Structure 1
Amino acid sequence: MTGICDGRVVMVTGAGRGLGRAHALAFAAEGAKVVVNDLGVGPDGAGGSSGPARQVVDEIRAAGGEAVAHSGDIATTEGAASLVRAALETYGRLDTLVNNAGFLRDRMLVNLDEDDWDAVMRVHVKGHFLPLKHAAAHWRSEAKAGRPAAARVINTTSGAGLLGSVGQGNYAAAKAGIIGLTLVASAELGPYGVQVNAIAPAARTRMTEETFAGLSALPEDVSPLVVWLGSDGSTGVTGRVFEAEAGRITVMEGWRPGPTADKGARWTPSGAGEAALKLLTEAERPQPVYGVR
Structure 2
Amino acid sequence: MAGIRTGICSGRVVAVTGAGRGLGRAHALAFAAEGAKVVVNDLGVGLDGSGASGGPAQGVVGDIAALGGEAVAHGGDIATADGAASLVATALDAFGRLDTLVNNAGFLRDRMLVNLGEDEWDAVMRVHLKGHFLPLKYAAAHWRAEAKAGRTPRARVVNTSSGAGLLGSVGQGNYSAAKAGIVGLTLVAAAELGRYGVQVNAIAPAARTRMTERTFAETMAAPGDGGFDAMAPENVSPLVVWLGSGASEGVTGRVFEAEAGRITVMEGWRPGPTADKAARWTPAEAGEAAYELLARSETPQPVYGVQPSS
Instruction: Give the TM-score normalised by the residue count of structure 2.
Output: 0.94
Please tell me whether the aligned partners of residues 41 and 48 of structure 1 are also in contact (alpha carbons under 8 angstroms).
yes
* CA offsets 1:46-103 (integer angstroms, 9 cap, x no match): 0000010000000000000000000000000000000000000110000000000000
Match of 1:213 in 2: 217
Q: For the Cα contact (< 8 Å) 1:209–1:215, is it kept in 2? A: no
The C-alpha deviation readout for 1:112-138, integer Å capped at 9, x for no partner, is 000000000000000000000000000
Distance in 1 separating the partners of 2:206 and 2:243: 17
Matched, 1:232 2:246: yes
1:214 positional shift:
2.3
Q: Please tell me the root mean square deviation across aligned C-alpha atoms, in Å.
A: 0.7
Q: Deviations over 1:187-242 (max 9, x none)?
A: 00000000000000000100000122124311000000000000011000000000
1:248 and 2:252 aligned: no
Q: 2:62 aligned to 32, 43, 58, which one?
A: 58
- The 5 A counterparts of 1:150-229 are 150-216=154-220, 217-229=231-243
* Count of matched residue positions in the alignment of Structure 1 and Structure 2: 293
Post-superposition CA distance 1:145-177 (Å, at most 9, x none)? 000000000000000000000000000000000
- In 1, distance between residues paired with 2:165 and 2:110? 14
**1:114 lines up with 2:128 in the alignment:** no
Amino acid at match of 2:265: V
1:289 & 1:180 partners in 2: Cα distance?
A: 19
SS of the equivalent of 1:41 reads coil
Structure 1 residues 2-21: aligned runs within 5 Å:
3-21=7-25
Does the 8 Å contact 1:203/1:215 carry over to 2? no
Write the distance in 1 (CA, Å) between the matches of 2:80 and 2:270.
34
Partner of 1:29: 33
Q: Does 1:289 align with 2:306?
A: no
Unaligned runs of 5+ in 1: none
Counterpart CA distance in 1 for 2:17 and 2:149 is: 28
The AA in structure 2 aligned to 1:219 is: P
- Provide the secondary structure at the position in 2 that maps to 1:242: strand
Aligned counterpart in structure 2 of residue 143 of structure 1, from 143, 147, 158: 147
Residue number among 129, 132, 147 corresponding to 1:125 in the alignment? 129
Give the aligned residue type for 1:225: L
- Give distance in 1, aligned partners of 2:164 and 2:216: 12
SS for the counterpart of 2:19 is coil
The AA in structure 2 aligned to 1:287 is Q
Contact 1:28 1:66 in 2 (8 A): yes
TM-score, length of structure 1 as denominator length: 0.99
Structure 1 letter corresponding to 2:297: A
Q: Match of 1:46, SS? A: coil
**Which 4+ runs in 1 deviate beyond 3 A?**
none
Aligned to 2:228: none
Q: 2:77 aligns with which of 60, 73, 76?
A: 73
Identity of aligned residues (%): 82
1:282, 1:288 → 2: CA distance? 18
Which residue number in structure 1 is paired with residue 282 of structure 2? 268
